[in-house]
Each structure stands twice: as C-alpha cells, then as structure tokens.
Amino acid sequence: MSWRRRVGLAGLGAIVVVAVLAGVVAWLNVRGEAPLGAPAPRVAASAEQLARGEALTRAGDCTGCHTARGGRFLAGGRAIETPFGNVFASNLTPDAETGLGRWSADEFWRALHHGRSKSGRLLYPAFPYPNYTRVSRDDADAMFAYVQSIPAVTRRNVAHTLAFPFGTQAALAIWRALYFRPAEHVDDPTRSAEWNRGAYLVEGLGHCNACHSARNALGATRGTLDLQGGLIPVQNWYAPSLASPREASVAGWPKHDVVQLLKTGIAPQGFVMGPMSDVVLNSTQHLSDADAAAMATYLQALPPPPESEPAPAETARPSARGAALYKDHCVACHGERGEGVPKAYPALAGSRAVTMRSSANLVHVVLEGGFPPSTAGNPRPFGMPPFAPVLQDADVAELLSFVRASWGNRAAPVSTLDVAKARAGRE
C-alpha cells in the first residue's frame, strides 16, 4: 500500500472519529428533551401563584445576578466574573424587545431544566441550570408568572466577554456532555417531609454547591450533593465546607440558631460576611419560616467528611509585634481575649472562621472590611472598617498569625505572600 493511500485512510479514519464524537456530543446535549409544542394561551396568574413565584425567585437568588448595582430589579446587566471571562446576566423583566416578554412558560421551563435560551442556544452554566434542573414544572411556572408581573424595563443584554474557545457553542456542548444531565428532585421516602423540602431548596433553587464545592479546571463541580467547600473563582473567597465540623457544619447548633443565621445574617455562633452576606441579603432573609427551617434540617443532617483534616504542618505563634497590632487596631471591638461582643462584634477566640485551613477570608475582611447584611431581623449591623490603607502586607500577616495562635486557637500562620495575593486581587 502506498504511503499516499495510507495517509488518505488515516485522514478518513480521523474524520469518522470526529464525526462520531460530534454525534455523541450532540446526542448528550438533547437527551431527555422533548420538542416544544405550540405556546399555550396565557392564563392570568392567581395571587397565590404570584406570591409563590416571588418566594421561589427569591429563594433562587435571581436578584443577586440579574439586578445590577444601582440598576432596576431583575433588568440584568451585572457582570458575573469567571476564570474564562465575564458573563453578563440577562434582562428577566417582561419587556417584549429586550426581556422575557415574548417567552412562553415552556421556554422558561426549558431554560431552567435544560439550560437553553428561547432560540435553543446553549446557556452558560454561570446561570446555575445544573441546579435549577431540579426545579419542578409547577414551581417554574410560578416563577415565570411572577417575573411576567414585574415592571418591564427596556435594557438590552450585554455581550459576554469570554476568551476563545469558551464563548463558543461547541465548547459549551462539550462541557455539557461531560458535566450536565437534566434531573429532577425525588423525595427520599426514608426522610421527613421537612428534610426533603430542605434538600429541594439547597440542592436546587438555592444552588449552594455553586460556591461550597471545589471546581475543576473547566469550572465544573462534583455535583449538587457536594458541599465540601471550595475557593470561589476570581473572588478568591473560600466558601467553607457545610459538612465539616472544623469549618461550617451546623450539625451541633440549635436549629433556631441556623434559621436565625439564614434569616438575619447573625447568630450566637457567628456572622456572615463576604459573598454570603449578599446571599442572605437577596435570598435567604426572604425565606418563609417553614422553608428556612427545612433548609436548617437538611444542613444539620449532612454527614461529616470521612477523612479528618490533618493538623497544620506549621502552627502560628503569638508575637510581640502581632500583639501590639491587635491592641492598636482590634481590641476595642473584639476584646482583650478575643471574646467579642454578642450581636455586634464576632468572637475570635474559638472561632472556626479564624482557625480554618484557608485564611483567605480573614485576609479579605482585614483588607476590605465588611458588614453583615442589613436584614429585617438585623437592620443596622455593626461592621468592620478596611485596613488596607493602614496596614502593610507584613503587618496583616503578623496580626492574623497572632489571632490564629491566641486564646486557644491553633492554626497555620498567615504569610506576607498570602496577603499580597489577596491585595493584588482586589486592586
């Protein structure tokens, strides 16, 4: 056989392989989907359906992405930063030209359940359809009825700015073939109705694993059940494990304290800060008491991770310099022994937020300051000023190493490099 013929056959074989792979990817992207029928005539929504739709939309934290800072409610335009570029949230108001005014309930359901736009284009998983796919059809219809009832805003969607090839439909198709499969919530008959409601909210609408799970190089999590903690891309805050007693497990808390944290952002055991503050502000404070209790029940039942966290290779040691910095900048609020002030300033002694393996959140709070969210249950929260203009990187490292080694705390030291990375990321 001549070499030309061998090369030709090899090229043909490669074409066949590519064609087969393309066919498999295409099939994996339409499995479970049925063609949309003719749009059903619209029926006026009842007051009960609208109220339920609003509650579900709040539970899904749609406001957090689809309302730009200072912008109109759910009119889109907010940039969602990803490691691959920016995805800009779309206009969800019922404007006919720029929003959802010409969408049908079937198309809205398909967006949540299958991750497709009105035209059938694949949506980016910055829109958390890998979680929303578990939302029931009745709930999707209620959400659609609600967003159709809010004031229409004319605001054209902003084009995404994603690096090649991540902005292509082909790349999305491959990602979905690897990591997405339509699903639905199925109650566990061995669990209580309250636990099952909590699972529906946490795994689906709440999309808690979108932050509280590690992501691979292509931005995929290990599934909606994985809540073992992870670094939030781009923002570089650490979303702690919701199952680990060393991080953010609430298994040992009184249930009403978990509900209080979800509804107000503060509890006797600690406060929320950073990205979680926005979640409480826009979403969980609006939960009904029953839904907040259901989420608490589910979170308290999460099994702890099988492996215990290893002790740090190096443990921080209190230093005279760190003690002096603490006295100058922290003692007035957090106390001489890190005891804090209930409902005002969190205790640092014995705090898991202080002793977690990752010190990223501590560095962010010291550099940037922060407030718990202003909620109906805590309308005027106490906050912390930013120290980035006052303290050098070495000062922050020394101060936090002191806090992580004092009053019974035992954790690894914070390095100047850790602080420099966080400072560079915020500038």
Q: Is residue 186 part of a domain?
A: no
Per-residue DSSP letter, 152: P
| 169 in the same domain as 229 | no
Give the pLDDT confidence of 200-244 residue by residue, as tens digits: 999 999 999 999 999 999 999 987 678 999 988 878 899 999 999
Position 42 scores a pLDDT of 75
Instruction: State the total domains in the chain.
Output: 3
Q: Is residue 275 part of a domain?
A: yes
Taking the C-alpha atoms of residue 378 and residue 280, their distance in angstroms, rounded to an integer, is 11
| 71 in the same domain as 173 | yes
Is the pLDDT confidence value at 126 over 70? yes
Q: Is residue 174 part of a domain?
A: yes
Q: Is residue 8 part of a domain?
A: no
| 210 in the same domain as 155 | no
pTM metric for this prediction: 0.89
| 404 in the same domain as 346 | yes
Q: Is residue 71 part of a domain?
A: yes
Q: Is residue 162 part of a domain?
A: yes
| 175 in the same domain as 52 | yes
Q: Which residues contact 76 (CB under 8 A, 6 or more apart)?
A: 66, 68, 88, 89, 90, 91, 92, 155, 157, 158
| 413 in the same domain as 383 | yes
Position 384 scores a pLDDT of 93
Position 20 scores a pLDDT of 45
Q: How far is CA 189 from CA 43, 67, 192, 194, 301, in A?
A: 35, 38, 8, 12, 15
Q: Is 11 helix (H, G, I), strand (E, B) or coil?
A: helix
Which tokens go with 46?
């009842």
Would you place residue 144 in the very low, low, confident or very high pLDDT band (cuts 50, 70, 90)? very high
> Which residues form the domain of 206?
193-300
* CATH number of the domain bearing residue 395: 1.10.760.10
Query: How much is the average pLDDT of 351-363?
Result: 94
Taking the C-alpha atoms of residue 205 and residue 207, their distance in angstroms, rounded to an integer, is 5
Would you place residue 5 in the very low, low, confident or very high pLDDT band (cuts 50, 70, 90)? low
Taking the C-alpha atoms of residue 73 and residue 151, their distance in angstroms, rounded to an integer, is 9
Angle at 116 between CA 232 and CA 285, to 5 degrees: 45
Which tokens go with 52?
């339920």
List 109's β-bridge partners, or say none.
none
| 87 in the same domain as 164 | yes
Q: Is residue 236 part of a domain?
A: yes
Q: Is residue 286 part of a domain?
A: yes
Position 9 scores a pLDDT of 47
Contact 387, 325 (CB under 8 A): no
3 state SS for 204-229: HHCCHHHCCECCCCCCCCCCCCCCCE
Give the pLDDT confidence of 164-207 residue by residue, as tens digits: 999 999 999 999 999 999 999 999 999 999 999 999 999 999 99
Taking the C-alpha atoms of residue 19 and residue 7, their distance in angstroms, rounded to an integer, is 18
| 288 in the same domain as 326 | no
* CATH number of the domain bearing residue 290: 1.10.760
| 64 in the same domain as 157 | yes
Contact 169, 122 (CB under 8 A): yes
Position 25 scores a pLDDT of 46
Give the pLDDT confidence of 84-124 residue by residue, as tens digits: 999 999 999 999 999 999 999 999 999 999 999 999 999 99
